[in-house]
């Protein structure tokens, strides 16, 4: 009799659990409802189709954002003003230092007139952990034309200039996007390529590729991008996210927030800034 009663109790308990929402399991066992659903999903079924997203996916709940907050375009833009003498600094040779921007040169700059090939800027994000920008820049410096970029940006905003500005590293995928998903690709298709585009790589989106750039990286970028624009006479409309011109990782939009942030500045090279 007792065994039969216990059996019926277990059956009733399982029936109640089957009626509970997935969010209850996440609250009881830690993690999100989607994480619990993943653990009980039967194996052998078809894999879900991952669609390309325009914006990076939000961070999971419970992940602290105080150390590396997401980009806030409007709060950041007014904070980053150009220093006095910016135009002259941007066109200087050697190792010009812009106030407010920590720039480490692994190779000194020459004359911008010798680097006339740069007509575009491409924003990249790499699946490297925080603290990896220096080592990646050093590797690029030792083999300048390998796959990589000229400029690397650490999560704390430190910028590493890895190669001579006349060298062409291998980056981009040949501007193969022609679906007009983000912008008019008639102007970029097979046109915005490594030979005419200087690349800037932001590290730190490991292990989550959709992790946005840090606020320190965004602040550094707003000075760095205008430095590049002024030095090589690149208009704002020639700043591109890697995802805008190439078919890239479907899980997030590589470089999109940063490129949009730079374009919003609408900086005009050669135009005298306030205070000069």
Report the DSSP beta bridge partners of residue 121.
198, 239
* pLDDT score for 76: 65
pLDDT in tens, 217-233: 999 999 999 999 999 99
Report the DSSP beta bridge partners of residue 122.
199, 240
- 146 and 170 Cβ atoms separated by less than 8 Å: yes
> Beta-carbon neighbour count of residue 44 at 10 Å?
4
Query: Given a cut of 70, is residue 256 above it in pLDDT?
Result: yes
Query: Given a cut of 80, is residue 70 above it in pLDDT?
Result: no
pLDDT in tens, 189-215: 999 999 999 999 999 998 988 889 999
* pLDDT score for 22: 42
Query: Given a cut of 80, is residue 54 above it in pLDDT?
Result: no
Query: Given a cut of 70, is residue 141 above it in pLDDT?
Result: yes
Query: Given a cut of 80, is residue 72 above it in pLDDT?
Result: no
pLDDT in tens, 98-109: 999 999 999 999
Distance CA 238, CA 247 (A): 18
Residue 78 banded pLDDT, cuts 50, 70, 90: low
* pLDDT score for 197: 98
Residue 272 banded pLDDT, cuts 50, 70, 90: low
Q: Which residue has the higher pLDDT, 8 or 109?
A: 109
pLDDT in tens, 147-163: 999 999 999 999 999 99
* pLDDT score for 16: 40
What are the start-end ranges of the H helices in the chain?
A: 2-19, 22-29, 33-40, 73-76, 86-90, 133-142, 215-232, 242-245, 256-265
Distance CA 153, CA 137 (A): 9
* pLDDT score for 122: 98
Q: Taking all residues of the chain, what is their mean pLDDT, rounded to a whole number?
A: 79
């Amino acid at each position: 009799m007792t065994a039969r009663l216990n059996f019926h109790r277990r059956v009733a308990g399982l029936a109640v659990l089957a009626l509970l929402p997935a969010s209850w399991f996440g609250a009881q066992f830690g993690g999100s409802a989607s994480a619990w659903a993943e653990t009980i999903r039967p194996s052998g079924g078809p894999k879900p189709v991952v669609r390309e997203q325009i914006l990076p996916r939000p961070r999971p709940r419970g992940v602290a954002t105080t150390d590396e907050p997401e980009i806030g375009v409007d709060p950041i833009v007014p904070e980053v003003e150009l220093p006095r003498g910016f135009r002259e600094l941007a066109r200087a040779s050697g190792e010009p230092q812009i106030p407010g921007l920590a720039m480490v040169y692994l190779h000194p700059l020459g004359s911008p007139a010798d680097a006339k090939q740069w007509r575009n800027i491409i924003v990249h994000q790499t699946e490297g952990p925080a603290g990896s920008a220096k080592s990646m820049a050093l590797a690029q410096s030792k083999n300048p034309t390998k796959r990589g970029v000229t400029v690397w940006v650490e999560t704390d905003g430190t910028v590493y200039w890895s190669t001579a500005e006349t060298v062409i590293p291998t980056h981009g995928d040949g501007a193969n996007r022609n679906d007009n998903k983000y912008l008019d690709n008639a102007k970029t298709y097979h046109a915005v390529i490594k030979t005419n585009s200087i690349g800037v790589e932001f590290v730190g989106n490991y292990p989550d590729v959709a992790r946005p750039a840090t606020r320190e990286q965004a602040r550094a970028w707003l000075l760095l991008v205008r430095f590049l624009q002024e030095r090589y006479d690149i208009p704002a409309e020639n700043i591109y996210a890697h995802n805008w011109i190439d078919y890239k990782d479907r899980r997030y939009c590589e470089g999109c927030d940063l490129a949009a942030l730079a374009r919003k500045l609408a900086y005009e090279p050669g135009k005298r800034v306030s205070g000069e």
